[in-house]
Structure 1
């Protein structure tokens, strides 16, 4: 029994690493180029952008990534860039990109879309690798309405009341009965989906702290020196990750178990 548990834990870790392949590559690139960047004539941000494009092509050629998963990345890149253009505008300035770049639009270097795409890529890949199944999953029309409201709130809360806590409450009401089943080795394990999302959001928040430490982007309170990203950002990442999950559910097959 002990050996079986060890094997299952190992398989789980390997599968997670496979699912995080693109995100891990991107984060590693940020850390490495902060301390060692010998490429002359190319801005660091542009190098990250071109490397991300090349890495994506390699994943497709080697069939480590499917066409559907690449489509997820394109969709997320567009959705994220629109939000980035708003958030980094001079009037809002929620965060800034302090370095120079050639490939970009207004205040947004193009590599930024890949940071959000890494989340979508992870969800799409982990969905396939662990063969997700669900029970108690709400109607997809309701989930779509929820994530549209979440996306709009990222814009509107700068002008009217911020309803993220209300949206979080609606999320709990919709998904508190939902269980996610994932195949680790030969058998399925299960977890409340709300807990699973929190663990992913926590991981993203940790990755965000690493990225801001490498000066890839900075928040206003980090201009004079790096500080930990506020834990409150976990709520933002939780909602954004939920948005990613629901969008992926419309691309991947949603396998719902029948009630017993």
Structure 2
């Protein structure tokens, strides 16, 4: 009976951590089914998601620190979206007043939702890490991964070399998480892969409801290429590096206050 209760509790905490991602994909679905008479769909999505963020903060579902992290990811994601749209990787074909260089401002929330999930899961499951490689190694690797998303359009794509470096840098790093009175752990790289896979599934849902379109989806929708899992795998690493480093900094400050 205990394993069942543990699984149910773990599932509940994961579900609560996914409130903002679920709100995003729910909004994408519902907005695609409505004929908006007085506002463009992209603009409506932005207003709805801003409202969701305010409600989550005011209700205590998200803390001020988590909101700050989400804002950082919104900017990081929006910059990447602007560049990728300019390079023709995908497009946002619908009109909207809240578009910047062809990219609707709500798109940054899709990246921010990853940060929201990680922050919430970290807090709810009382997560920690062992074998963290430190700011220098993780920061340089995260920067190289982010830069590669831009540079692979005009120089060779180094994603597989970067993936090998991820395995090397984080091979001793484990996530520790707690479910009720029990403590569990898993390799951090496995967590990267699992989250990347589920984001790829979500990406298929998002493109199906016209959140954006890849070049091969303009005529008719088709499944997003499996190679995108590796892209999300690497992007998740950037997210974890930022969140984990901020958590370590905050923990260090709190410890100094106690001392």
Could you tell me the TM-score, scaled by structure 1's length?
0.94
1:43-192 equivalent positions in 2, closer than 5 A: 43-89=40-86, 92-192=87-187
1:28 deviation in Å? 1.1
Higher RCO (C-alpha under 8 Å, 6+ residues apart): 1
CA distance in 1, matches of 2:173, 2:230: 20
CA distance in 2, matches of 1:253, 1:39: 45
Question: 245-254 or 125-134, which moves further after superposition?
Answer: 245-254
Q: CA RMSD in A?
A: 1.3
Residues 185-224 of structure 1, C-alpha deviations (whole Å, 9 max, x = no match): 1111111111111111111000000000001101001111
More helix by share: 2
The answer on whether the counterparts of 1:138 and 1:174 sit within 8 Å (CA) in structure 2 is yes
The answer on whether the counterparts of 1:77 and 1:113 sit within 8 Å (CA) in structure 2 is yes
The match for 2:28 is: 30
The match for 1:201 is: 196
CA distance in 2, matches of 1:253, 1:22: 24
Extract unaligned runs of 5+ from structure 1: none
3-state secondary structure, aligned to 1:191: strand
CA distance in 2, matches of 1:205, 1:124: 20
3-state secondary structure, aligned to 1:221: helix
CA distance in 2, matches of 1:135, 1:6: 27
CA distance in 2, matches of 1:39, 1:87: 28
3-state secondary structure, aligned to 1:149: helix
3-state secondary structure, aligned to 1:162: coil
1:134 deviation in Å? 1.6
1:14 deviation in Å? 0.6
1:250 deviation in Å? 2.3
1:39 deviation in Å? 3.8
Aligned length: 251
1:98 deviation in Å? 1.4
The answer on whether the counterparts of 1:68 and 1:251 sit within 8 Å (CA) in structure 2 is no
3-state secondary structure, aligned to 1:101: coil
Extract unaligned runs of 5+ from structure 2: 253-259
CA distance in 2, matches of 1:96, 1:170: 31
Could you tell me the TM-score, scaled by structure 2's length?
0.94
3-state secondary structure, aligned to 1:88: helix
The match for 2:257 is: none
The match for 1:242 is: 237
1:38 deviation in Å? 4.7
Residues 145-196 of structure 1, C-alpha deviations (whole Å, 9 max, x = no match): 0000011111011011110110000000011221111011111111111111
